Chains A and B, each alone.
Chain A
């Protein structure tokens, strides 16, 4: 990981300085200072919770604008599996894929097809590395980032594979070069993404030096453009889809784990549930698990903050869509060759939450924070701008807040002064 990048920005005009986001941020990355929310980049895992809960729509997820696709001579769309769950009465994925071409893409490469290949390779990899069980999925970038900043003991359990979209991007570029004879940089690989975490992962990928994706666009932006085009592509005959039940299944919680065909897996979704599972894993609370699938969003990628449809409605639609598909339609030739999917860069622990510069300093700061905490009212009201009294105490020792930011302590203090004045 190089410089911290985070995919959510704040519109100060819209921000009212309320406490909704600071209360819901799972890593306590947000503080309200001088009436506006501020995100500490290093703590942010790009989960999008703050975007979801902000009643004033002041949190803006970042992604590339759709118009930018036309900067490239030849452009390939990479639709996320969960994209297929956004449409009503869809009984054939080809209708969407043809509509993407009609919109302006020269070709499509389904992330679901790459996911199917990753399922196949993961099955083999897990079988060959039984000593490292349980493996934790690395498909959700928010979860992977969370593990690298908060659960260092679990880093060894991460499945050291790129996300399906990265594999899709590599294959798509190679295919496009072969097909067109253009140079690789004239080809635009465009991911149609359910969430801003994928934007952050493209700017700062895990286990990879550089992402193969050129642009990440939002499902919510391309969705209204495709609807009218889909009416036109409904009856065309062009077959573009290469994915089956397993690949499309990745779009909702349990799909990736289900595609491994193992008996003992756990699939958790929703960031609070994910954190509970990670805490339990760290305490070695669960035994005999082979695979752990974790998705930051409720329902899995269908719950992404850039989606249009209700996550559970989308899940139901995808279930219907998958029903008549073959189990799998994309395969790798050699399932024990992991070279296309393996990480080529170490994923390391970043101890961003550490209070002090060294152990002795940290210990002293922790002791100080305990003392401050004991003086605070313990209401966790958020009025000081920190999510809890404990967080305020830590902020004070970090030097970024003052004890009297607590309105209750301030009130007491003012009362005392006025009493003193009266008694003179």
Chain B
């Protein structure tokens, strides 16, 4: 066997009803693998927040997950508008979500800061007009 396990998820844009599907699926798999509750919790929050971000800001995208006995890597890639000011976007409560989306209860400006908080390492690569890739590592 290889020592790494890979999963691929497609997130469709502007579909709030399906946001969270990838997170739920990965959670179930981690529980089958016997990952600790703490790891499951961190991954669940990072995935769910990431999924919601893709739905709100980027018309969806893809998530690639790599699991090894040491850690879990989440790579969330979209071809959205990009993030103009990462520092600002990382602030708790800062949001560029429309009124419409806020009225649905999303866009509270906690997405990226929560992802940072619950992952052990996070990297954002973004190019305006091209897209954003967020990579997160969660230690086992």
Residues of A within 8 A of B (CB): 150, 152-153, 279-280, 282-285, 287, 349, 351, 353-356, 358-360, 362-364, 366-368, 370, 394
Contact = CB atoms under 8 A, between A and B. Distances in A.
B29 interface: yes
B67 A363 contact: yes
A283 B23 contact: yes
B33 A280 contact: no
Interface residues of A, dominant DSSP:
helix
Contact of B33 (A150, A349, A355): A355
A29 to B, nearest CB: 15
Interface in B25-53: 27, 29, 31-35, 37-38, 40-41, 44-45, 47-48
A351 B31 contact: yes
A282 B140 CA distance: 18
Given A280-B20, A283-B20, A351 B34 contact: yes
A349 B32 contact: no
Contacts of B27: 279, 282
16 contacts: A153-B38, A153-B40, A153-B41, A283-B24, A283-B44, A283-B48, A284-B44, A354-B32, A355-B33, A355-B34, A359-B69, A362-B33, A363-B33, A366-B32, A370-B5, A394-B32
- State the 10 A-B residue pairs at the shortest beta-carbon distance, nearest first: A152-B37, A283-B48, A354-B34, A362-B33, A153-B41, A364-B1, A362-B34, A283-B44, A355-B32, A153-B37
Contacts of B20: 279-280, 283, 285
B32 A152 contact: no
Interface string B86-130: 000000000000000000000010000010000000000000000
Contact of B34 (A285, A356, A370, A394): A356
Given A279-B20, A356-B34, A285 B69 contact: no
A285 B110 CA distance: 11
B5 A363 contact: yes
B45 A284 contact: yes
A315 to B, nearest CB: 28
Given A283-B45, A284-B48, 16 more contacts: A152-B40, A153-B37, A153-B44, A282-B40, A283-B48, A284-B114, A285-B20, A353-B31, A354-B34, A355-B34, A356-B33, A358-B34, A359-B140, A360-B3, A363-B3, A366-B29
Nearest to A397: B32
A267 to B, nearest CB: 18
Interface of B: 1-3, 5, 20, 23-24, 27, 29, 31-35, 37-38, 40-41, 44-45, 47-48, 67-69, 108, 114, 140
B43 to A, nearest CB: 10
B40 A353 contact: no
A279 B24 contact: yes
B1 A367 contact: yes
Contacts of A354: 31-34
Interface centre among A287, A349, A363, A367 (most CB of B within 10 A): A363
Contacts of A285: 20, 48
Nearest to B37: A152
Contacts of A362: 32-34
A364 B1 CA distance: 7
Contact of A367 (B5, B24, B35, B140): B5
Contact of A360 (B29, B38, B48, B69): B69
Contacts of B68: 363
A351 B45 CA distance: 20
Contacts of B33: 354-356, 359, 362-363, 366
Contact of B2 (A284, A351, A367): A367
Contacts of A366: 5, 29, 32-33
Contact of B69 (A351, A363, A367): A363
A282 B41 contact: yes
A247 to B, nearest CB: 34
A247 B68 CA distance: 51
Contacts of A280: 20
A256 B54 CA distance: 38
Contact of A349 (B37, B48, B108, B114): B37
A162 to B, nearest CB: 24
A193 B18 CA distance: 38
A64 B108 CA distance: 52
A351 B34 CA distance: 7
Contacts of A283: 20, 23-24, 44-45, 47-48
Contacts of A152: 37, 40
A359 B140 CA distance: 10
Contacts of B140: 359
Contacts of B48: 283-285
Nearest to B105: A287
Contacts of B38: 153
Contacts of A355: 32-34
A366 B69 CA distance: 12
Nearest to A368: B1
